[in-house]
Chains A and B, each alone.
Chain A
Amino acid sequence: MAENLITEEMKAAIGRESEPSTNEVDKTGIRMFARSVGHTDQVFYDEDEAKRRGYRGLLAPPHYLGTPIFNPKYSDPTFGGRRGGMREFNTGLKRRLNGGTEMEYFGDICAGDTLTVSSHIADIAQREGGIGTMLITTTETTYKNQLGQVVAKSRGTGIQY
């Protein structure tokens, strides 16, 4: 049995809500994201088409929940979001993989929206696998728009090994 990598400090972090941060949803970000996936629906590119279909502006494509405001003072240089969460713990595990993603929508997200984002670690588990000892962290995130409506929730599973 490998040593237990889950410290008391990590356990104490489970359920603790992060300081809110901001994701901006703008036209450039939407088009860049839609292009990167290979979307062809004009609702992500053409404002007239988006308005014709009843949206306030370009629609954010599935999975795009805005871009975290980048600032070297507090952003992660590789992933762009706020530093924090599991990245703050020195686990000795240097490699990481994405274990899974779940998203749920409660409203439309359009260009011009500003989303307030807060998250917490829901669970940390240690497992032995083909790639060695893994720390598996589940993070839950809530996205609220400028009108105070919760428009999306996401759940991500991160694997450190």
Chain B
Amino acid sequence: MTTAAATGNKVYFEDVEVGQEIPKLVKNPSTQQLVHWAAGSGDFYQIHYDQDFARSTGLNGIIVHGALKHAFLGQLLWDWVAPSGGTIKKWGVSYRGMDYPAQEMTCRGVITGKRQEHGENLVDLEIWTENPSGQKTSPGTATVSLPKRG
């Protein structure tokens, strides 16, 4: 289940400022979504769908795939840049904390820099996923390219 961040608003390079937060993307991955992800990504490690297996490895239960959190943050960035024709250049995160299914996960990003390089208008961001206690379970950084107005 998703609360869509996709506002459809066209964001241009001139519009953004350091310190601005981009529209949040709120996810709430169900166990069904983890099974979808297993098929979509090809990662069938049992800690993501088999409760007994997950517990036998010492986990509290099934955990959300780290890579799915990276893909959620990809969706956060894509929904922000795509309406104006922007692109994602790079994004990376560390998986610092476990996330569990049927729990809200908020994907967020704050602009940390703007620069022009090789004719591209680049925007740097701090990005992260946040659990219901407000902990940053996957902090990282991203760079996107945005077009200019006109």
Contacts and interface: CB of A to CB of B under 8 A. Distances in A.
Given A41-B6, A97-B66, A102-B90, A63 B45 contact: no
Interface in B16-62: 27, 33, 36-37, 39-46, 57-58
Interface stretch (A1-9, A75-83, A141-149): A75-83
B42 A62 contact: no
Given A63-B70, A99-B94, A104-B90, A32 B75 contact: no
Interface of B: 1-2, 4, 6, 27, 33, 36-37, 39-46, 57-58, 65-68, 70-72, 74-75, 77-79, 82, 85, 87-95, 140
A100 B78 contact: no
Contacts of B66: 97-101
Nearest to B83: A41
Contacts of B140: 100, 102
Q: Quick one: which of A39, A41, A100 has the most chain B CB within 10 A?
A: A100
Contacts, number: 115
Contacts of A40: 2, 4, 6, 79
Given A78-B45, A98-B66, A32 B91 contact: no
Contacts of A62: 71, 74-75, 77-78, 88, 91
A102 B95 CA distance: 11
A37 B75 contact: yes
A103 interface: yes
B42 A35 contact: no
Given A97-B66, A103-B91, 10 more contacts: A29-B40, A36-B33, A36-B37, A37-B75, A38-B72, A62-B91, A78-B45, A101-B92, A102-B90, A104-B89
Contacts of B39: 32, 36
